[in-house]
Amino acid sequence: MNKRSSLLQRFVAAPYVVWSVLFIVIPLIMVIYYSFTNGDGDFTLSNIYTLLEPEYITLFLRSIAYAFIATIICFILAFPLAYFIAQTSPRTQKTAMMLIMLPMWTNLVIRTFSLSNIIADEGVINTILAPIGLQINIIDSPYAVILGMVYNYLPFMALPIYTVISKLDKHVIEAAQDLGCNKRTVLSKVVLPLSKSGIVSGITMVFVPAISTFYISAKLGGTDGRLIGQEIESAFMSSADKNFGSSISLVLMILIMISIAIMNKFSDDDEKGGGMIL
Amino acid sequence: MNNLEHNALLRLQNISVKFDDDQILNDLSLNINEKEFVTLLGPSGCGKTTTLRILAGFVTPDSGDVLFEGKRINDIPPYERQINTIFQKYALFPHLNVYENVAFGLRVQKKSEEEIEKTVHEMLELVNLKGFDKRNINSLSGGQQQRVSIARALAVKPRVLLLDEPLGALDLKLRKDMQNELKGIQQRLGITFIYVTHDQEEALSMSDTVVVMNGGKIQQIGSPLDIYNEPENAFVADFIGESNIIDGVMLDDYKASFAGRVFDCLDKGFNKNEPVDVVIRPEDVDVVPVEKGMICGEVTSVTFKGVHFEIIVDINGFKWMIQTTDYEPVGAKIGLFIEPDAIHIMKKSEYSGMYGDYSSFSDELDKLSEITEAEDE
C-alpha cells in the first residue's frame, strides 16, 4: 500500500521534476558556469571584479533603492485599500478585486508603454493641464520609474493582503474593540499584526520583480533612471557578452535571496512569539 | 420580581431591531441589577444574542434606549463601555501568547508594566491557568482557551460581563465544571453577569434571574424556581423541562376541569369557565393501580433514564409523559394520581395547543433537534 502510493506520488511529481531540472537547475548551473569563465571557457573572476567598479555598484544600489521605495509606496497604498475593500459587502468585494486585477490582463510592456505616453512631456496629462498653465515633467526621471513600478506591481501587494484581511475572524476584531481599542488601535494592534503573512508575501512579490526590471526603467527612466536589469539585458542582447550578463544575474540573485531571507526572518520571529496562523 | 427600577444598573427600554425584513427584537424592555446573574434563555433565533450585542455596543437598536446607571449609552462605542464580552468562539488574539492576550486590554489602557504583570497573574490564577503565561494560544484546549478569554475580559475590571454561550463548544463534563467556576467567579468578584444560552439546565442552575425569550420578545422574567414552577405560558412550560400541557377549563377558584374530570388545584383569580392551559410536570404525577387512579390509561412506551423511567401514557387519546421509579411494561393499564399542588394553571396564549403533547415524542428526535440547535448558534 505504502509502496504503491509512493510510486504514484513519484509518477505525479515526475513532470514537475523534469520541468525543474530543464528550466531551473540547468539554467542556474549555466549562469554560475558563465559567471566564472571568459569567452574561451577559462576560469576567471574578472566578471565579478568588474561589478565592483563604482559604475555598477551605483546601478545595484539604485535598483535596490528604487525597488525598496516602490515596495513601500505599494504597501502604503495597498494596505488601506485592501482593508477598506474587506469591510464592504461580498458583492462589492468581488467587483473591487476584479477592478484591481483588470490591468493585469494587459501585458506589462503594453501597460508601461501606455504609461509613458500618458506622462510624456507632450503626453495626455500635460495636454489636459496645458490650458491652466501646469506642466508635469517626470518622464525620464527616477520618479517615472518608481511610478511605473508602483503602477505595475500594486495588485501583487493588494491581493495577498486582501486575502488575509478578508479571512480575519471578525470576532477577534470585536474582542479588540470590546477591550478598549478604537478604530486606529484595532488596526495597529490586531489587523496589522494578523495580516503580516499577507504583507510579507506582498512585499516579496513587489520587491523581487521591481529590483530586476529592465523594461520599466528603459521606457520611463532615461539615463538617470538606468537600473541593473537593463545592464543584464544589454550584456546579453547588444554586447552578446553572456559571461558578464550571467555574473550580474548571479549577484542580483544573491541580493534577492538575502532580502527574502531577511524578510522571512521577520515573519519567523513572529511565529515563535505568538503563533501566526498561515 | 427583583428588577426594581430605581436601582437597575442596566436598562433596556422598548428596544426594537430589524435586520433587513426580519424583526429580531420587538419592543423589548429589561432591567438588570448590580451584581445580578441574569440569563437570557431561548431557542436559536429568539434574539438573545442580539440583545447581548446591543449591550456590548456592536448593534445599535432601531428604536428604544439602552441606559447604564441611568445614562443613555446608545451612541457610546464598545470601547468606551465598562461592559466586556466573552465570545462563544473565544476570539483570542492568535498572534499573542496567553500572557499578552490577558494583558491586551491593560496595554490599551496604557497601564504600567508592573500593574499589568500583577493583574495578569491575578487573573490567570483566578481561572486556574497559573504558569501558562508563555503558552501559544493554538496549543491550548477549548476549555483552556475559554479560561484565557475569561481572564482577558476580567483583567480590565468590567462592571458588566456579557457571556455569549461561552460553554457551547465544550463537552458535557467540562461544561459542568466551568458552570461552577463561572458562578464562583461571579460571586467572588461581584460583577454583573449577563449570560446567553439555549441550555435550560445551565440557565436554571447558574442564574439569579432567568429571562425566557422567543420570537424577539420576553416570554417570562423570574427566578429559576418561578420559571420552572410557575411558567407563564405554554412556550415557557415546554421550553423549561418537560411538561404535559392539557386543554382545560377553570370552573371556579381552585377547581379545574381537564382530561375528562374535575381536579382540585391551588390556582385562583380566573374568570368562571375560562379556558386555560394546564401544566403538569412528568415528575409530579404518581403512578397507582387503576382503581386508585384519578385518571387512567395505557402505557405506550418506556425508556430507562437511569434515575427513573420515562413512560408515555395514552389517556383518552392524549399522550402524557410520566417519570416514575417503578417499571411499567408497555401495554399495562395504570392509574395516575395528581396532587393539587402538581397542577399549574396558565392563561391561554398564542402558544396554546402548540406544545405539551407527547403523541409524536421520540427521544431520538429530541436529541437531534438539540444538536441542530447547537450548530445553528
The predicted structure's pLDDT at residue A266:
72
Looking at beta carbons, which residues of chain A come within 8 Å of B105? 179-180
Using CA atoms, how far apart are residues A164 and A190, in angstroms rounded to an integer? 13
Residues B221 and B327 in one domain: no
Select from A225, A193, A229, A187 the least CA-distant residue to A84: A187
| Per-residue pLDDT at A203 exceeds 80 | yes
Q: Which residues of B176-187 are buried (b: 16+ CB within 10 A; e: fewer)?
A: eebbeebbebbe
CA angle centred on B13, ends B10 and B19, rounded to 5°: 105
State pLDDT tens for residues B2-56: 444 556 899 999 999 999 888 999 999 999 999 999 999 999 889 999 999 999 9
Note whether B95 contacts A185, CB cutoff 8 Å.
no
C-alpha cell at B212: 425566557
**Residues B241 and B202 both lie in one domain:** no
Confidence class for position A136, pLDDT limits 50, 70, 90: confident
Under 8 Å between Cβ of B164 and A174:
no
Amino acid sitting at position A61: L
Which residue, of B162, B195, B229, is where some domain finishes?
Answer: B229
3-state secondary structure B87-99: CCCCCCCCCCEHH
**What are the residues facing A37 on neighbouring strands?**
A43
Instruction: Examine the pLDDT at B370 and tell me if it is beyond 60.
Output: no
Domain carrying residue B321? 234-376
Residue range A134-155: mean pLDDT, rounded: 92
d(CA A228, CA A57): 9
**Domains annotated on chain A, with CATH:** 1-35 (no CATH), 51-268 (1.10.3720.10)
- B120: CB partners within 8 A, 6+ apart: B99, B102, B103, B106, B133, B151, B155
Report the pLDDT value the prediction gives residue B260, as an integer from 0 to 100. 87
How far apart CA B218 and CA B197 sit, in angstroms, is 14
Q: Which residues lie across from B217 on neighbouring strands?
A: B214
Q: What are B56-69's pLDDT values in tens digits?
A: 999 999 999 999 99
Task: Indicate the pLDDT class of residue A260, thresholds 50, 70 and 90.
Answer: confident
Q: How many CB atoms lie within 10 A of CB B198?
A: 23
* A48: pLDDT strictly greater than 80: yes
Cβ distance of A171 and B89 shorter than 8 Å: yes
Total domain count, chain B: 2
CB crowding B126-160: b at 16 or more within 10 Å, else e: bbebeebbebebeebeebbbbbbbbbbbbbbebbb
Contact B208, B37 (CB under 8 A): yes
Do B147 and B128 lie in a common domain? Answer: yes
CATH number of the domain that B211 lies in? 3.40.50.300
CB-CB: which of B87, B94, B156 is closest to A194? B94
B46: three-class secondary structure by DSSP: coil
User: Taking 90 as the threshold, does the pLDDT of residue A89 lie above it?
Assistant: yes
A180–chain B Cβ distance below 8 A for any pair: yes
d(CA A147, CA A134): 19
pLDDT for A269 equals: 55
Q: Do B95 and A180 count as a contact with CB atoms less than 8 A apart? A: no
**Statement to judge: residues B276 and B197 lie in one domain:** no
What's the pLDDT at A5?
66
From B205, B229, B253, the end of a domain falls on: B229
Q: Measure the CA–CA gap between B56 and B50, rounded to whole angstroms.
A: 10
pLDDT, position B360: 61
The confidence band for A83, taking pLDDT boundaries of 50, 70 and 90, is very high
Asked whether the beta carbons of residue B109 and residue A180 sit closer than 8 angstroms, the reply is yes
User: Distance (Å) from the C-alpha of residue A199 to the closest C-alpha of chain B?
Assistant: 15
Query: Least CB-CB distance to A179: which of B84, B94, B137?
Result: B84
Q: What residues contact residue A19 under an 8 Å CB cut-off, 6+ apart? A: none
| A239 pLDDT tier (thresholds 50, 70, 90) | confident
Instruction: Count CB atoms within 10 A of the CB of residue B373.
Output: 14
Distance CA B65, CA B73 (A): 8
Query: Mind listing the pLDDT tens digit for each residue in A157-181?
Result: 999 999 999 999 999 999 999 999 9
**Are the beta carbons of B100 and A274 separated by less than 8 Å?**
yes
* pLDDT score of A275 more than 80: no
CA distance B328 to B293: 15
Q: Specify the DSSP element, H or E, that contains B279.
A: strand B274-280
Cα distance between residue A249 and residue A253, in whole Å: 6
CATH assignment of the domain containing B358: 2.40.50.140
Length of chain A: 278
Give A129's DSSP letter: H
**Chain segment B258-282, per-residue pLDDT in tens:** 988 899 999 988 999 999 999 999 9
What string of DSSP letters covers A24-73?
A: IIHHHHHHHHHHTB-TTS-B-SHHHHHHTSHHHHHHHHHHHHHHHHHHHH
Q: Above 90 in pLDDT, residue B355?
A: no
DSSP label at B80? G
Which residues are CB-contacts of B27 (< 8 A; sequence separation ≥ 6)?
A: B14, B15, B16, B64, B217
Please report the DSSP string for B312-367 in residue order.
EEEETTEEEEEEESS---TT-EEEEEE-GGGEEEEE--TTTTTS---TT--HHHHH
The DSSP call for residue B127 is: T
Q: CA neighbours within 13 Å on the CB side: how many for B215? A: 6
Judge: B91–A273 Cβ closer than 8 Å, yes or no.
no
Q: What is the pLDDT of residue B218?
A: 95
Do both B138 and B195 map to the same domain? yes
* Choice between B348 and A224, residue whose per-residue pLDDT is larger: B348
Nearest by CB to residue B85, choosing from A178, A185, A273, is A178
Query: From CA B48, how far away is CA A170, in angstroms rounded?
Result: 19
Instruction: Report residue B240 as a C-alpha cell.
Output: 423549561
**Closest by CA position to B328, among listed B306, B292, B362, B304:** B304
Q: Which of A1-10, A123-132, A246-255, B145-154 has the lowest mean pLDDT?
A: A1-10
- Averaged pLDDT of chain A: 89
Q: Do B336 and B240 reside in the same domain of the chain?
A: yes
How far apart are alpha carbons B123 and B125 in whole angstroms? 5
Query: How would residue A268 be classed by pLDDT, with cut points 50, 70 and 90?
Result: low
pLDDT score recorded for residue B326: 86
The position carrying cell 544575474 is: A249
Q: Which of B59, B79, B88, B135 to mutate: most A Cβ within 10 Å?
A: B79
Contacts of B56 in chain A (CB under 8 A): 174, 178
**Do B293 and B196 sit in the same domain of this protein?**
no
Pick the range with the lowest mean pLDDT from A90-94, A268-272, B160-164, B333-337: A268-272
pLDDT given for residue B298 in this prediction: 92
**What band does A29 get if pLDDT is binned at 50, 70 and 90?**
very high
Q: Is it the case that residue B193 has pLDDT exceeding 50?
A: yes
B223 and B253, same structural domain?
no
Cell 555598484, residue? A57
- In this structure, is the dihedral angle defined by the CA atoms of residues B302, B303, B308 and B313, taken in order, positive or negative? negative
Q: Model's pTM, two decimal places? A: 0.81
Report chain B's terminal Cα–Cα distance, integer Å. 30
Distance, in Å, from the CA atom of B254 to the CA atom of B318, rounded to the nearest integer, reads 23
Computed over every residue of chain B, the mean pLDDT equals: 89
Q: What is the pLDDT of residue A261?
A: 87
Same-domain pairing of B112 and B185: yes
Q: Are residues B295 and B187 in the same domain?
A: no
Strand partners, A248: none
Indicate if B250 and B155 belong to the same structural domain.
no
CB contact under 8 A, B94 and A181: no
pLDDT for the residue B2: 44
What CA–CA distance (Å, rounded) separates B105 from B154?
Answer: 10
Average pLDDT of the residues in A112-130? 90
Please say if the pLDDT value at position A271 is more than 60. no
Three cell numbers, residue B57: 455596543
Tell whether B82 lies on the interface with A, counting CB pairs under 8 A: no
Query: pLDDT tens across B115-171, in order?
Result: 999 999 999 999 999 999 999 999 999 889 999 999 999 999 999 999 999 998 888
- Residue in A with minimal Cα distance to B99: A274
Rounded Cα–Cα distance for residues B284 and A251 (Å)? 88
Pairing type for strands B37-41 and B83-86 reads unpaired
Cell matching residue B173: 463534563
Q: Report ipTM (2 d.p.).
A: 0.81
| B137 at interface of A, judged by CB pairs closer than 8 A | yes
Q: What are the respective helix, strand and coil percentages of chain B, to the nearest 5?
A: 30, 35, 35
- B242, B213: one domain: no
Question: Which of B180, B200, B229 lies at the terminal end of a domain, its last residue?
Answer: B229
CA distance B279 to B241: 11
Shortest distance, CA B228 to any CA of chain A (angstroms): 34
Contact B96/A at CB under 8 A: yes
Closest C-alpha among B97, B117, B133 to residue A270: B97
Cβ distance of B93 and A175 shorter than 8 Å? yes
